[in-house]
């Protein structure tokens, strides 16, 4: 038998060697923790579709966010839960100065100055139709929606958001938001665009967390078709041209190829969102004893980073940091 010169297993012989040759390392500062905020004080509600995730009033979040910051997890994405009776077709509540999200932002800025606050720009949490844009005669009105989104972004910046994150997938919204922010004096507020956001079934648990599912129709005329990747490149190039400082791929695990393409193409940081369905799928399997939760979580998050994500949005961010050993 000829000698075998190549034995790749040598590099896997012990934990120390495996650590030595490991190419991908997760750390707390890679993460953004998405949190659901509700109005009121001392409120905390479990979300049944996302075991272990809670909607909380801002005062109830503060101690947890401080704990997260101490572990090196300092970036948070805020998603407000709006009561049904406050919703209307134009999401008017999102343009009111006294909307609770804005006071929550101010409070967070004051009490946790080390935190980076990222806010979601879209209509669906506020819209009685449950769409990310204005819905009229079974159509989404692109340009009219963009006007509202730009105003939302300005109010978010004014009240303390460091980065605004349009997740709506309307055409031209990044340029409109950049222009509106600059005109209002917020030239330093960043834009993280959800550049390739797919029309995904994995958003189901999030929509039940916010009661934000579309009342009729679906999101396929604005969110991307899961069959396409060339289209993602077009969205990426447009968003960067329009002024995006960071770009996102969403969901993450089923779209690792898109993350990789973004990383190769984009001269800006790439974020990926491990969405609600990805989280709940692991939780559900673990609760039935079918998967080891922590190991599966780590494997999925590692895969997302290995594919090229510089930033990972994950409901597991806090749990990851708790189990992080450096
Ligand atoms: C809405 C928005 C969604 C998510 C983030 N922003 C849902 C949707 O587009 O229907 C999903 C996040 C998740 O599933 O965790 N603009």
Average pLDDT score over the chain: 97
Is residue 214 assigned to a domain? yes
In a domain, 9, yes or no: no
Q: Among 197, 219, 283, 305, which one carries the catalytic annotation?
A: 197
Q: Assess if residue 7 is contained within a domain.
A: no
Domain count, the chain: 1
pLDDT at position 326: 83
pLDDT at res. 244:
98
Q: Decide if pLDDT at 1 tops 80.
A: no
210 pLDDT tier (thresholds 50, 70, 90): confident
pTM, rounded to two decimals: 0.97
Question: pLDDT per residue over 135-152, tens digit each?
Answer: 999 999 999 999 999 999
Which atom, in ligand 1's list, is nearest to the CA of 204?
A: 14
Residues above pLDDT 70, as percent of the chain: 100
On whether residue 15 sits in a domain, the answer given is no
| 8 is a domain residue | no
Secondary structure in 3-state letters for the chain: CCCCCCCHHHHHCCHHHHHHHCCCCCCHHHEEEEEEEECCCCCEEECCCCCCCEEEEHHHHHHHHHHHHHCCCCEEEEEECCCHHHCECCCHHHHCCCCHHHHHHHHHHHHCCCCEEEEEECCCCCECCCCCCEEECCEEEHHHHHHHHHHHHHHHHHCCCCEEEECCCCCCHHHHHHHHHHHCCCCCCEEEEEEEEECCHHHHHHHHHHCCCCCCCCCCCCCECCCCCHHHHHHHHHHHHCCCCEEEEECCHHHHHHHHHHHHHCCCCEEEEECHHHHHHHHHHHHCCCCCHHHHHHHHHHHHHHHCCCEEEECCHHHHHHHCCC
Residues 264-293, mean pLDDT to the nearest whole number? 98
In the residue annotation, 305 being an active-site residue is answered as no
- Domain CATH number, residue 293: 3.20.20.70
The finding on whether 124 has its CB within 6 A of some atom of ligand 1 is: yes
Is 158 tagged catalytic?
A: no
Q: What is the pLDDT of residue 310?
A: 98
State which residues form the domain around 105. 24-323
Q: What is the pLDDT of residues 150-207, one digit of tens each?
A: 999 999 999 999 999 999 999 999 999 999 999 999 999 999 999 999 999 999 999 9
167 lines ligand 1 (CB under 6 A): yes
What is the pLDDT, as a whole number, of residue 2? Answer: 80
| pLDDT for res 148 | 97
- Whether residue 162 is contained in a domain is answered as yes
Residue 310 falls within a domain, yes or no? yes
Is position 221 within any domain?
yes
The residue nearest atom 5 of ligand 1, judged by CA position, is 167
């Amino acid at each position: 038998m000829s000698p075998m010169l190549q034995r790749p297993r040598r590099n896997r012989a012990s934990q120390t060697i495996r650590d030595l040759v490991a190419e991908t390392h997760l750390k707390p500062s890679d993460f953004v923790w998405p949190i659901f905020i509700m109005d009121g004080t001392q409120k905390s509600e479990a979300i049944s579709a996302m075991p272990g995730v809670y909607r909380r009033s801002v005062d109830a979040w503060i101690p947890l966010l401080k704990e997260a910051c101490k572990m090196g997890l300092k970036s948070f994405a805020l998603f407000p839960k709006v009561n049904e009776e406050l919703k209307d077709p134009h999401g008017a509540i999102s343009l009111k100065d006294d909307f609770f999200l804005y006071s929550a932002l101010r409070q967070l800025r004051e009490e946790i100055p080390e935190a980076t606050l990222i806010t979601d720009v879209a209509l669906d949490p506020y819209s009685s139709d449950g769409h990310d844009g204005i819905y009229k005669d079974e159509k989404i009105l692109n340009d009219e929606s963009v006007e509202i989104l730009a105003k939302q972004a300005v109010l978010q910046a004014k009240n303390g958001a460091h980065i605004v994150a349009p997740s709506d997938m309307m055409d031209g919204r990044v340029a409109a938001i950049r222009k509106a922010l600059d005109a209002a004096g917020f030239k330093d507020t960043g834009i993280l665009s959800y550049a390739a956001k797919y029309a995904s079934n994995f958003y189901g648990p999030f929509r039940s967390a916010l009661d934000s599912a579309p009342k009729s129709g679906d999101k396929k005329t604005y969110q991307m078709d899961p069959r396409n990747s060339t289209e993602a490149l077009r969205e990426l190039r447009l968003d960067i041209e329009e002024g995006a400082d960071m770009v996102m791929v969403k969901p993450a695990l089923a779209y690792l190829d898109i993350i990789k393409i973004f990383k190769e193409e984009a001269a800006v940081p790439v974020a990926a969102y491990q969405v609600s369905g990805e989280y709940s799928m692991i939780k559900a399997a673990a609760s039935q004893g079918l998967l080891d939760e922590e190991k599966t979580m780590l494997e999925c998050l590692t895969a997302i980073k290995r594919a090229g994500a510089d930033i990972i949005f994950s409901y597991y961010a806090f749990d990851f940091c708790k189990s992080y050993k450096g």
